[in-house]
Amino acid sequence: MMFPWPQGRCPELPPQDLAMAFFFQQAFTLGQQNIRPVPIPEAKKKRLRYLKMAEQIRADAAEHERLKGHVDPRRLWEAAFAYEELADAAAPPPGSPLLVERQHRGDPRLKGFVLALGAITKDVFGTPLCGSLATTANVVFRRDDLTADAVRKMLYHAPRP
């Protein structure tokens, strides 16, 4: 389990309590964001422009290093890295839980929240905790109709109990 706190900072709390604090901190953070699932083809298209630019800048930097040009190649390397960050901001990177096969009906912000927090709870607890995730999403989105089964359907890869 990876928590944002340095080792020994909260020695009085057992790991389960730290995990729960991390869960609520993540739920709070994700609830404030406007995260949405993005279909894979759309994400590839959004990212491609920035990644092509980063690739071209890297090639230019390598050429300047080889020729000992007038431009400091470190600045070009930094620019290439900045374009890669822009690609990550434009659409979720490969492997993100927010990448989906196709756009689904319903509230995309709720779906994004469930996908992101479900991935976190699976990493931390070994299971997406569909019931707890449903309760948390109901609180965050001021609703009372989301069930564990509905969350499980959103997390199509989540195992059935």
Q: What is the predicted pLDDT for the residue at 158?
A: 44
- Cβ pair 141, 110 in contact under 8 A: yes
Give first-to-last CA distance, the chain, whole Å: 23
The two three-digit tokens of residue 136, written as one number: 């948390």
- pLDDT, mean of residues 13-28: 85
Q: What is the predicted pLDDT for the residue at 58?
A: 92
Q: List pLDDT tens digits, range 24-57.
A: 888 898 888 888 888 888 889 999 999 999 999 9
Q: List pLDDT tens digits, range 76-90.
A: 899 999 999 999 888
Q: What is the predicted pLDDT for the residue at 99?
A: 85
Question: Alpha helices of 68-107 — where are they, by DSSP H?
Answer: 73-90
- Of 62 and 68, the structure prediction assigns the larger pLDDT to 62
Report the distance separating Cα 81 and Cα 78, nearest Å.
5
Phi then psi for 100, rounded to 5 degrees?
Answer: -130, 160
Q: Which residues fall within 8 angstroms of residue 114, CB to CB, at 6 or more apart?
A: 133, 137, 151, 154, 155
DSSP string, 113-139: HHHHHHHHHHHHHSS--HHHHHHHHHH
